[in-house]
Chains A and B, each alone.
Chain A
Amino acid sequence: MPQTSRPLVLLPVLAVLIHPASAETRADLLASLDQTIARAEASLREGELQVAESRYRDAMRDGWLILGAIHAAEGRLPDARNAFRHASTSAVDADSALRALALVHLQMREPAEASLLLTRLVGRYPTDVSLRQLLTQALLAGGRPEEAVQELEEAHASAPNDAELTFLLASGYLRLKKAGAAEQLFAALSKAKPLPQTYVLIGRAYRDAGEFGRARAALERALKLDPRTRRAHYYLGTIAVLEEGVVRLEEAIAEFRKELALAPTDPITSLRLGMALVEAQRPADALPHLQRAARSASAPADAFHYLGRCLLSLDRASEAVPALERALALSSGPARDDLRLLGIHYQLALALRAAGRADDAAKQFAAAEALSAKRADASRERLARYMGADAPEPLNVPLPAPPEVAAIQALQPAVRDELQQRARQAIARAALNLGVMHAQAQRFARAAELLETAATADPAFPQVQYSLGIAYFNAQQYTQALAPLERALADTPDRADVRRMLAVAALNAQRFERAAELLADDPGRGDDPSLQYAYGVALVRSNQAELAEAVFARLVAAHAEAPELRVVLGHAHARQGDYDAAVSELQRAIALKSDVAQAHSTLGEIYLKQGKLAEAAAALRTELKYHPEDRQAAHALATVLDLDGQQDEALALLRSVLAANPQYGDARYLLGKILLSRGAAREAVGQLESAARFSPEDANVQYQLGQAYEKLGMSAQAEERFELYRQLKDKRRTP
């Protein structure tokens, strides 16, 4: 049921991470994952497949959450986004994953995606203030301040005594320049909580809205209540710079010094003081403050940037270079700021030149020049931006890292690596077993999806490549089966079954040379006519006719009266275009066993190629009478019926084929083609787009899809498909 009051809590596996990072933390995490997997496997042994599935899904989600947190902690946001996405689709309870995903979207400047997720989460947890805050941030980042405030108004209406919501809403009003409405709420807030810290928050909110007079008044009120109130002097210092830039630097420096007197080790105040001193041309005074700021584990790019500038001013260019390089590295994420980058490139260029590295300096000058073309710098603007940046706006606070990310950041790299490896193994193990369960239920395409997940998480996990190959093979997606089966064979070159399956997949994917190569040494080939046949066909199609002839001769000698062999020989003759011999073999097979599989259907296909549509239809109908599950025969019959002008029956047949196997690409293609010919272009597009997803390399599919688009007046899409068609044709022509 939707939760209306329960706060959004972290899943147990990640809640562990909130505690200080340590070896115990890592061990707890891994133990939790291992326990979930062990419980899943116990359920599997008990025959409780649904319980097992459920637990495996929990394990997948938890594993992806850990991976996402590791990626986020290491700054690999696209990987983090991908991992959290996986986590959010692994299990029913995905709120932690969705929240983390929304955060990553926000960090990657994808506010629309973040808003979508957060709106749903806020709907489920309407009293979770931190979620509301994130949503308003997302809405603001997406240029939707009115909606952000509306969001807060709704929340405030349902919880009017919630101080945090009151504060956020007042800040939102400031953003919309509704200072009067904000003032009322702030007054109520300070009345309810008449603490100096309340006035600091209010002062900061006014400061961020550019209401400097009101801001100063609130901060001074805080200091009046308690002269040792933290952050009041700090914000007063930033206000001096924000209001008048370098003109009031001395006032700012004095405020920062007062703040430092209250909290001597505070890295952010040290940084701001150092920055102000650098701007005031007092680098020697600035240096110890900036060094202290840069030593902080979470030191931002600004700390290194200003440290570099400071060192450069002190003629210590070779020390400035690494500091500026670090600043550059920290500034090159998705949330990059061109103006800051320009400054860093320029300072780095100066430092490199002073350190005698002219070539490297030239590159940095060029980079700075490229950025300066975009916009001009101004020291006042620059400093004001820096001062405002991490003294955050209430509605635009820096995005909080999820607790798990912060905890993972604090882990030693080696411990993190081990954690990552184990999380990957857990995901792979869970996904592998889920995939196998689907395969066991004959849902091979679904199995392949899960096994792909396993292979993505840990490509080297035992059995993953092999199982993935089998799943694709059984889903008749032979081209996709090739790569995992090749990898499986590389891992276990002695496995005859893998080699054989790969050979047949290669044959079906028209990689004849590879098929022949694999089947050449297959020890079971001599006893298995279908393998002999496959080998023969592969030889014929890879232009090794002499060898093929010998193979076919041996087949006949060994299995003269086996109806299945006659069918195989019929195939072989048909493949070589000798239809008379093929028909003769197939009729002999039928005489030996009237319902022998694929005899009638092969006859039907031969008649089709010969243009004998009535005979073809009759043969294929006979095949379907004996083997109604033979979808290829049904598809062939639909082809014949279409050619014979019996499109209604063809359509019905194709629809029944697709009802049994929605992923049968050839049937989708034929259905789309017929619909297109009957003027139903819109429906044809659906079928052909689907066919193109299954067979992207099929030129005919692309051509028909282009035709369908053209009929619907979608010229650009049509041209795109025709171009693809031409490319595929050219590729086929190329030897």
Chain B
Amino acid sequence: MISAVRDPRSAIRSPLLAIALVAALASTADAQTDSVRALLQVARRQASEGSAAAALDTLRKARARAPNAEDVLSAYAQMAIASRQPIVAVEVLEPLARMCPSVPQYQYMLGVAYMQAGAILASVDALRAAEALDPGNARVLAALGIALNTRKLHGEAQPVLARSIEIEPENVEAIAALAEAEEGLGDPLAETHAMRALAMNPAHATANYVLGVVRMRQQKYDEARDALLKAIASDQQMARAHYQVSLAYSRLGDEAQARVHVELYQQQMQALEDAAKKLRR
């Protein structure tokens, strides 16, 4: 098979490339602080040390110097998502996806950021775009399934999540989301998949939530409450878990706790609405 003439890249003789190549190979050890290259390195180090806020701040400086640079925008968005600052991430990812429409990763990140911000419709659109660019990517399929679940489109979510698991059988997020879809469809497999996810990660928020809802249906309110509280412990922003646990408390006769969680549910919903409003702006 012939695939290339030795190393065809050696045939690139552009003087501009030569300049770039020499520059790229230059030492970066003594980079000054206003160097974007150096700032990226610093941010990487800060992120690896767990200082997400510092990393984001450093990347903000890099962005001010190179506002259109793909590496900078991508790193900034990743850090914003990791720090659960979806509005900040979306602000960067929208133009990034517009500038680089063939890169599935940016559509995926945009979908995740939208989802974090509660803009589920936009999230589904972005994730579908990512899937079209990179069909069969397990991570994208899992995120798409989760977004569809959030829109209560469990019938659409279920096959998407099943495909994701087929590709990546140990993806706990996809398994938990599949359980949620099945629960929404009234499929008894929901409990099995929730238990499987919990075997992999006992604190998993979605899996505990699904188990809680299943136990509610079974009228095992004590167990339901415990599972739902575990879900909340893992993800305090899980509005639907607050709502369900308020129902469990109510069934158990603890109206005070029920009220607390109803209020927390309403606060979460308001926060999501506020985020969506910010996005619309």
Residues of A participating in the B interface, judged by any CB pair closer than 8 Å: 1-2, 4, 41, 44-55, 57-58, 88-94, 123-124, 126, 432-433, 436-437, 439-440, 445-446, 449, 463, 467, 470, 473-474, 476, 497-498, 500-501, 504, 507-508, 528, 530-531, 533-534, 537, 571, 598, 601-602, 632, 651, 655, 658-659, 662, 668, 671, 680, 682-683, 686-687, 689-690
Give the residues in chain A near B273, CB-CB below 8 Å.
none
User: Please, which residues of chain B bring their CB within 8 A of the CB of A440?
Assistant: 17, 20-21, 24
Residue from B19, B24, B101, B281 in contact with A124 in the complex, judged by beta carbons closer than 8 Å: B281
What are the nearest 3 A-B pairs in CB distance?
A: A686-B135, A47-B23, A50-B69
Partner of A89, one of B23, B26, B98, B133: B98
Once the chains bind, are B5 and A683 in contact (CB under 8 Å)?
A: no
Q: Mark B96-137, 1 if CB is under 8 A from A, else 0.
A: 101111111000000000000000000000000001111111
Interface string of B47-80 (1 = CB under 8 A from A): 0000000000000001001111111110000000
Q: Using Cβ atoms and an 8 Å threshold, which residues of chain A touch B99?
A: 57, 89-92
Docked-complex contact A53 and B69, CB < 8 angstroms: yes
Are A54 and B69 in contact (CB-based, < 8 A)?
A: yes
Please measure, in the bound complex, the distance between the C-alpha atom of A659 and the C-alpha atom of B139, giving whole angstroms.
Answer: 11
Check if B14 is an interface residue, CB within 8 A of chain A.
yes
Q: Residues of A contacting B20 with CB < 8 Å?
A: 44, 49, 52, 433, 436-437, 440
Assess whether B5 is in contact with A680, with CB atoms less than 8 Å apart.
no
Binds A, one of B34-42, B212-220, B240-248, B259-267: B34-42
Given A53-B70, A123-B280, A446-B102: A439 and B12 interface contact (C-beta under 8 Å): yes
A91 to B134: give the CA distance in the assembly, Å. 24
Chain B neighbourhood of A439, CB < 8 A: 9, 12, 17
Whether B1 and A632, one on each chain, are in contact in the complex, defined by CB atoms closer than 8 angstroms, is: yes
Of all chain A residues, the one with the shortest Cβ separation from B159 is A682
Min CB distance, A72 to chain B, in Å? 21
Given A48-B35, A508-B2, A92 contacting B68 (CB threshold 8 A): yes
With A655-B167, A683-B136 as given contacts, are A473 and B37 in contact (CB-CB < 8 Å)?
A: no
Report the bound CA distance from A662 to B68 in whole Å: 25
CA distance A525 to B14 in the complex (A): 24
Bound state CA distance, A505 and B119, in angstroms? 46
- Chain A residues, CB < 8 A from B23: 44-49
Least CB distance from A662 to B in Å reads: 5
Q: In whole Å, how far is B91's beta carbon from the nearest beta carbon of chain A?
A: 7
Q: Measured between alpha carbons, how far is A12 from B23 in the docked complex, in Å?
A: 30
On chain A, the residues within 8 Å of B37 by CB distance are 47-50
Query: Does B4 make an interface contact (CB < 8 A)?
Result: yes
With a cutoff of 8 Å between Cβ atoms, the chain A residues found around residue B136 in the complex are: 655, 658, 671, 683, 686-687
Q: Find out whether the CB atom of A94 lies under 8 angstroms from the CB atom of B98.
A: yes
Asked if A530 and B12 make an inter-chain contact with CB atoms under 8 angstroms apart, the answer reads no
18 A-B pairs with C-beta separation under 8 A: A44-B23, A47-B24, A49-B23, A50-B62, A51-B36, A54-B67, A89-B98, A91-B67, A94-B95, A433-B16, A436-B14, A439-B9, A467-B12, A500-B5, A534-B2, A662-B133, A671-B136, A689-B132
What distance in Å separates the Cβ of B176 from its nearest Cβ neighbour in chain A? 21
In terms of DSSP, what is the predominant structure of the interface of chain A?
helix
Q: Let me know if B28 is at the binding interface, CB within 8 A.
A: yes
Taking the closest CB of chain A, its distance from the CB of B65, in whole angstroms, is 6
* Cα of A528 to Cα of B5 in the assembled complex, Å: 10
Q: Which residues of B contact A687 (CB under 8 A)?
A: 135-136
Q: Name which residue of chain B comes closest to A659, CB basis.
A: B137
* Nearest-neighbor residue (CB-CB) of A60 within chain B: B68
In chain B, positions 193-252 with a C-beta closer than 8 Å to chain A are none
Given contacts A45-B23, A50-B36, A474-B4, contact A88 B69 (CB under 8 A): no
The reply to whether A50 and B40 form a contact with Cβ atoms under 8 Å apart is yes
A680–B68 touching, CB < 8 Å: no
User: Which of these, A4, A51, A92, A655, contacts B73 with CB under 8 Å?
Assistant: A92
- CB distance B104 to A54 under 8 Å? no
A507–B98 alpha-carbon span in the complex (Å): 36
Question: Which residues of chain B are near A533, meaning CB under 8 Å?
Answer: 2
Residues of A within 8 A of B70 (CB): 53
Please measure, in the bound complex, the distance between the C-alpha atom of A651 and the C-alpha atom of B163, giving whole angstroms: 12
In the bound complex, do residue B4 and residue A504 qualify as a contact, i.e. CB atoms below 8 Å apart?
yes
Nearest residue, chain B, Cβ from A3: B281
Residues of B within 8 Å of A467, CB to CB, are 12, 14
With contacts A48-B37, A54-B68 taken as known, whether A470 is within 8 angstroms of B11 at the C-beta atoms is yes
Q: How far is A533 from B96 in the complex, measured between Cα atoms in Å?
A: 45
Given contacts A46-B23, A89-B99, A437-B20, A54 and B281 within 8 Å (CB-CB): no
Measured in the bound complex, the distance between the Cα atoms of B8 and A49 in whole Å is 23
Q: A90-B99, A504-B2, A662-B104 are in contact. Are A54 and B17 (CB under 8 A)?
A: no
What is the CA–CA distance of A732 and B40 in the complex, to the nearest angstrom? 52
Q: When the two chains form their complex, are residues B12 and A476 in contact, meaning their CB atoms are under 8 A apart? A: no
The chain A residue with its CB closest to the CB of B17 is: A436
A2-B278, A473-B8, A632-B1 known; A44+B66 contact, CB < 8 A: no
**Bound Cα distance from A474 to B96, whole angstroms:** 25
**In the bound complex, do residue B69 and residue A602 qualify as a contact, i.e. CB atoms below 8 Å apart?**
no
- Which residues of chain A come closer than 8 Å to B73, judged between CB atoms? 92
Hey, which chain B residues are within 8 Å of A470, CB to CB? 8-9, 11-12
Q: How far is the CA of A49 from the CA of B19 in the complex (A)?
A: 11
Chain B residue at smallest Cβ distance from A500: B5
Q: In the assembled complex, which residues on chain A have CB atoms less than 8 Å from the CB atom of B280?
A: 123
Chain B nearest Cβ from A691, distance in angstroms: 9
16 A-B pairs besides A498-B11, A530-B5 with CB distance below 8 A are A1-B91, A44-B16, A44-B20, A49-B37, A51-B66, A53-B69, A91-B67, A436-B17, A467-B14, A470-B8, A473-B8, A497-B11, A531-B5, A602-B1, A668-B135, A682-B159
B226–chain A nearest beta-carbon distance, Å: 38
A462 — nearest CB in chain B belongs to which residue? Answer: B14
Closest to B13 in A: A497
The distance in angstroms between the C-alpha atoms of A497 and B101, with both chains bound, is: 32
Give every chain A residue within 8 A of B135 (Cβ-Cβ): 668, 683, 686-687, 689-690
What residues of A have a CB within 8 angstroms of the CB of B65 in the complex? 50-51, 54
Residue-wise interface mask of B (142-179) relative to A, using a CB-CB cutoff of 8 A (1 in contact, 0 not) = 00000000000000000100010011000000000000
Residue of B with least CB distance to A683 = B163
Closest to B132 in A: A686
Residue on B with the closest CB to A439? B12
Whether A501 pairs with B5 at a CB distance below 8 angstroms is yes
List the A residue with the shortest CB-CB distance to B12. A470
A54 touching B66 by the CB < 8 A rule?
Answer: yes
Give the residues in chain B near A501, CB-CB below 8 Å. 5, 8, 11
Taking CB as reference atom, which chain B residue is nearest A126?
Answer: B281
- The residue in chain B whose Cβ has the minimal distance to the Cβ of A91 is B68
- Cβ B40 vs Cβ A474 within 8 A: no
In the docked arrangement, what's the CA distance between A1 and B72, Å?
Answer: 16
Contact, CB under 8 Å: B36 / A47: no
Contact call A436/B16, Cβ cutoff below 8 A: yes
Asked if B14 and A50 sit within 8 Å, CB to CB, the answer is no
Q: Are A92 and B95 in contact, CB atoms less than 8 angstroms apart?
A: yes
Known A436-B20, A508-B3, A690-B135; judge A50-B72 contact (CB<8 A).
yes
Output the nearest chain A residue to B26 by Cβ-Cβ distance: A47
Query: Closest CB of chain B to A203's CB: distance in Å?
Result: 36
Chain A residues positioned under 8 Å from B103 (CB to CB)? 446
